[in-house]
Copies of this chain bind each other. A is one copy, B any other.
Amino acid sequence: MQQIADPFLYTLLLIFVCAKLFGELFERLSLPAVLGEIAAGVVMGPFALHVIVPSASVESISELGAIFLLFAVGLETHPRELINVGRTSLGVALAGVVVPFAAGFVYVVLHGDSPQEATFVATAMVATSVGITARVLGDLGALQARAAKIILAAAVFDDIIGILLLALVAGLASEAGVEWQPLVLLLAESVAFAVFMIFIAPRIIRRMHGRLRHVTTRNASLVIALAICLALSVAAEKIGMAAIVGAFFAGIAFAEFAPELGLRPQVNALSEFLAPFFFFVMGAQLDLRVLTPKIILSVAIISVLAILSKVIGCGLPLLREGWRTALKVGVGMTPRGEVGLIVALIGLNAKMISEEYYAVVILMIAVTTIFAPPVLRLLFRYPTFAESELAKSPATAAAAAEPLQ
């Protein structure tokens, strides 16, 4: 009841409507809706039309959006399924770190820049950001596919490797240099957290579950699930992992009882409302004015390297499972995100990389983010030509089909 219209509510309205209209438009053009939501941010954001400048409150909302998105994804992921693909995913994650790093390092050195600069650029090309892939797979209803499980499990390993690399480059940039003791502690903490959440937490939830009826709070199961989701997001951040990985862990801990407790539609509603702000803000941060002709070539080369190296690195360990699964996982692991940004920022602040390489890294992140959704959609939705041919013979078609569940 104020005389002046609240800019916060008005901004939320504008962002939500723009994101959803662009999403609808993209869907009709056979492009992923999430790309439309990012495009809405680019177009309406501070660096293009300048209609909407996300405030701190909007950024907080967008953060919650990413958290509930991964919580919802976790709710559809039974821990046993993650464990089943565990060894495979570890190989995928490791090769998916080594190959992009090597590609980035060699390119920058061949380009005539220092090995130190090469180290930062290469590190920024390593860590996958799984949010956008999770959303695309969710939109396609493909979260139960084996490739999706491998991606989600590999993303957990990738995140653990990512925080170690982040600590390493932070050490390189500091005057004290790299200290190994905190690094080992960090590794132990994050591995322990992941092991606890995947192997032990689901059992605790199973025991707690019977006692839920003694709680008088209305809709107690949702309230407790939300509290645990927030708690694990905070815990993950405290350790140094991504908050969304904590939210994902919270989801898998509840996955077994999610149908019985009716959690999925409720958490989906939260994610449906909040996640568009995440993707819009992601788009709004993209400043296309950095794109001078000199930089465009570097961006193109580094982006192609970033995409190919991840597709090859993550795909190679999976060739036994068929090139299609390998390709799905490789493309699903392509998007880079916050870790790359932070690595580049640390390098820039310590004057270890140039402003040009900083811009190149940011745009590489944008390119990989925009590249993955439409390709994933093609791979998961339409059978390839080879598979259509196979499909003419029923026996081989069954063998070629992606095993669901």
In this assembly, does A28 line the interface, its C-beta being within 8 Å of a C-beta of chain B?
Answer: yes
Q: B63 contacts A61, CB within 8 Å? A: no
> Complex formed: what's the CA distance from A335 to B354 in Å?
60
Return the CB mask of A209-220 against B: 1 if under 8 Å, else 0: 000000111110
In this assembly, does A162 line the interface, its C-beta being within 8 Å of a C-beta of chain B?
Answer: yes
> Complex formed: what's the CA distance from A5 to B56 in Å?
16
Evaluate whether A273 and B270 lie within 8 angstroms (CB atoms) in the complex, with A5-B237, A9-B234, A63-B8 already known.
yes
In this assembly, does A242 line the interface, its C-beta being within 8 Å of a C-beta of chain B?
Answer: yes
Q: B139 contacts A218, CB within 8 Å? A: yes
Question: Who on chain B is nearest to A10 by CB?
Answer: B234
* Count of chain copies: 2
In this assembly, does A3 line the interface, its C-beta being within 8 Å of a C-beta of chain B?
Answer: yes
Contacts of A27 on B, CB cut-off 8 Å? 216-217
Contacts of A338 on B, CB cut-off 8 Å? 1-2
In this assembly, does A321 line the interface, its C-beta being within 8 Å of a C-beta of chain B?
Answer: no
Q: Which of B6, B13, B219 contacts A272 (CB 8 A)?
A: B219
Contacts of A63 on B, CB cut-off 8 Å? 6, 8-9
A selection of 10 A-B contacts at a CB cut-off of 8 Å is A1-B241, A4-B237, A16-B230, A20-B227, A33-B217, A218-B272, A219-B272, A226-B272, A266-B266, A270-B273
Closest CB pairs A-B (n = 4): A266-B269, A57-B60, A13-B230, A1-B242
Interface residues in chain A, defined as those with a beta carbon under 8 Å from any beta carbon in chain B: 1-6, 8-10, 12-13, 16-17, 20, 23-24, 27-28, 33, 56-57, 60-61, 63-64, 67, 127, 139, 159, 162-163, 166, 170, 215-219, 222-223, 226-227, 230-231, 233-234, 237-238, 240-243, 262, 265-270, 272-273, 337-339, 342
